[in-house]
Homo-oligomer: A and B are copies of this chain.
Amino acid sequence: MQFKITKEFIEILNSKIEEKDNQWILENVFELHHADIADVLDELSTENAKYVYYLGGDEVQGDILMDLQEENRESLIDTLSTKEIADQIENLDSDDAADILGEFSEDKIQEVISQMDDDEAAEDIVDLLNYDEDTAGGLMQKEFLVVQLNWPVNKAIMQLRKQAEDVERVMNIFVVDEGEHLLGVLSLKRLLIANSSTKIAELYNSKNIISVKTSDSSEQVSNVMEKYDLVSVPVVDYQNKLVGRITIDDVVDYLKEEADKDFQLATGISDPLKSDAGIWKISKARLPWLIIGLAGGILGAQVISGFEVSIFEHPELAFFIPLITAMGGNVGVQSSAIVVQSLARGDQNMGGILGKIWKETLVGMLNGILLSLIILGIGTAFGGFDIGLVVSTSLFTVIVVAAIFGTFIPLLLNKYKIDPALATGPFITTLNDVVGLFIYFSIGLFIFSLLK
């Protein structure tokens, strides 16, 4: 039932564009859902995408714009006059319109706003531009359904009909007093069932009303909507006045972005890229982490070179270098991942930071003891009891240290408002490599001198 984009379709479309067969394009492209039209345009050359785009009306143009990939959106917008932009964003929800305008310069924003016909829509957008992108104010839209407590059902329905023209998705009806303070929610279900003379006050639900403040972070909003299974949540200002609503689809987009970002940080890709990006771009996005890794490797080389004499006397020491670095890296990443996830989930920090570090230390010791015993046997078989003892003792130490680092660093980053997920990636691996090598060779030097 859904449209599936194919190479053949794109080829035919390209030839129709060349023939300027606008009739065909209108019938075969603009009959699609705007999300599919955007997908199609993303597959065309910039020139051809523009050609098709200009055949659409204001209304579908705005929707397509929102669904395009970022770079294609930007190159399309560059070709539009401020008047065209004004006409197209007028048909969008206020939050989407503000998102598009938010990327412009102050001057261009003012120019577009002044060209909008609908003053109320313009005012809404200007208002939304005041909020930080990463807050409830930045996520919310100004279109919502609202009724007053003292209205009867028939007046409410009449008012809702007017409001509904602007609201793309009817989910909840908010109930306010005369001062616009949020009092509760009215379900459409109850409105469907009620008699026309009943007062809203008798129908609405004022118990456990969940709302968010304009200054709440996107993360808080998403946690609240997820916890209470909400499809839309009212946004209030500091005086509890209703100023907007956030719908779940915006939160879904936010969740997807966050998950991608965490995954990218954990795997060392600094810049989100589509898999069809060019080779130069991909290379550039990956280089920063690789250079950090390289610097770590050079530091590691320096550490080892400081123990050159030990290696000369005991070449077996070199055999276990990868084991020590790999284990330190793995344990560090595991500990940090746990902390990062629990921070993202907004878990209450009942135990406190010291408690967490202590717990990870215990886990590290437990795993460290087990793995060290295994390696004591294997190491002894490999190169004698002395090397077995060195490897197992340092493995234990490295695991415990890595567990502590892995816990401490994301907590520290979080305290200073840096994304703690940064600590799950190559950063912590590199740090643990260098520290682990130092521990390994120091313990080796010490034990060999004891056994001599």
Residues of A within 8 A of B (CB): 1-2, 5, 7, 31-33, 35, 157, 160-161, 164, 167, 169-171, 187-189, 192-193, 207-211, 224-231, 247-249, 251-253, 255-256, 258-260, 262-264, 266-269, 273-276, 279-280, 282-283, 286-287, 289-291, 293-294, 296-298, 300-302, 304-305, 308, 311-312, 315-327, 329-331, 333-334, 336-339, 341-342, 347-348, 350-351, 356, 359, 362-363, 366-367, 370-371, 374-375, 378, 382, 424, 426, 429-430, 433, 437
Contact = CB atoms under 8 A, between A and B. Distances in A.
A374 B253 contact: no
Given A226-B253, A248-B231, A301 B325 contact: no
A286 B188 contact: no
A225 to B, nearest CB: 8
A123 to B, nearest CB: 23
B300 A323 contact: yes
> Which secondary structure dominates chain A's binding surface?
helix
B252 A248 contact: yes
Contacts of A260: 341
A248 B250 CA distance: 11
Q: State the oligomeric state as a number of copies.
A: 2
A371 to B, nearest CB: 6
A3 to B, nearest CB: 8
A311 B305 contact: no
Contact of A325 (B262, B280, B322, B336): B322
Contact of A210 (B33, B189, B327): B33
Contacts of A371: 290-291, 294
A190 B273 CA distance: 40
Given A35-B229, A170-B187, A267-B337, A437 B1 contact: no
Contacts of A327: 290, 293-294, 297
Contacts of A31: 207-208
Contacts of A336: 267
A372 B375 CA distance: 34
B287 A367 contact: yes
Contact of A297 (B267, B293, B297, B326): B326
Nearest to A316: B305
B248 A249 contact: yes
10 contacts: A35-B229, A225-B252, A231-B247, A267-B334, A290-B334, A297-B320, A304-B318, A318-B321, A322-B433, A329-B329
A341 B291 contact: no
B305 A375 contact: no
A2 B371 CA distance: 46
A353 B99 CA distance: 36
B294 A322 contact: no
Contacts of A164: 189, 192-193
Contact of A266 (B266, B276, B370): B266
A315 B308 contact: yes
B362 A279 contact: yes
A97 to B, nearest CB: 15
A31 B209 CA distance: 12
Given A330-B426, A366-B283, A374 B263 contact: no
Contacts of A348: 5
B304 A322 contact: yes
A297 B209 CA distance: 55
A317 B318 CA distance: 9
Nearest to A182: B1
Contacts of A341: 260, 263-264, 275
Contacts of A276: 347, 350-351
